[in-house]
Amino acid sequence: MLRTIGDGPYSLHMRNAWAVVSLALCAAFAGAAAPQTQSKPAAAVAPAKKAAPKLSDGQIEAAIRAKFAKSKSASGFSVRVQGGVAHIDGKTDVIQRKAAASRMAKTAGAVAVDNRVQVSEAAKARAAGNLEQGRRRAQVKRGEMRDSR
């Protein structure tokens, strides 16, 4: 939901919107008015680098399974790959393991990740408790008093 300061046509939201539109129009006119430069002849252009060969679904799945097997955080998850998209299923008691599984799949070559890992209620409660406690010790700014936990 957008917050506005003030009512009517002069609200902060409307002023920001007009500023964005004005900048976009200026950029468009500046690009159109810029002098056109001549392109280099075809012979002088460096050859384009060849893109890395795309991995097959089976290769991506094998790479993800290997990463999961090496990791203690994602060893209990199942994965399948279709069209380059990794589909991850499983359950965990640690919230961070769900994100770790997604990162491992992406680094293994998946184009996208459909992470359906279910986080336990106990893990959600622990995370909520940590948020309620506020910043952790490593996040305390210099000069602030630390509480005695």
What confidence score (pLDDT) does residue 97 get? 93
Kindly state whether residue 122 falls inside one of the protein's structural domains: yes
Kindly state whether residue 17 falls inside one of the protein's structural domains: no
Kindly state whether residue 66 falls inside one of the protein's structural domains: yes
What confidence score (pLDDT) does residue 5 get? 54
Kindly state whether residue 108 falls inside one of the protein's structural domains: yes
Kindly state whether residue 70 falls inside one of the protein's structural domains: yes
User: How many other β-carbons are positioned within 10 Å of the β-carbon of residue 125?
Assistant: 10
What confidence score (pLDDT) does residue 119 get? 94
Kindly state whether residue 102 falls inside one of the protein's structural domains: yes
Kindly state whether residue 106 falls inside one of the protein's structural domains: yes
Q: What are the average pLDDT values for consecutive 10-residue runs of the chain, which has 149 residues?
A: 53 64 66 56 52 80 94 88 96 92 95 95 88 66 59
* CATH of residue 122: 3.30.1340.30
Kindly state whether residue 34 falls inside one of the protein's structural domains: no
> In sequence order, which residues have a C-beta less than 8 Å from that of residue 114 and are 6 or more positions away?
85, 86, 87, 88
Q: Per the structure, how many domains does the chain have? A: 1
> In sequence order, which residues have a C-beta less than 8 Å from that of residue 106 and are 6 or more positions away?
113
- Range of the structural domain that residue 79 is part of: 57-127
How far the first Cα of the chain sits from its last, in Å, is 38
Measured distance CA(2)–CA(36) in Å, rounded: 41
Q: What is the pTM of this model?
A: 0.55
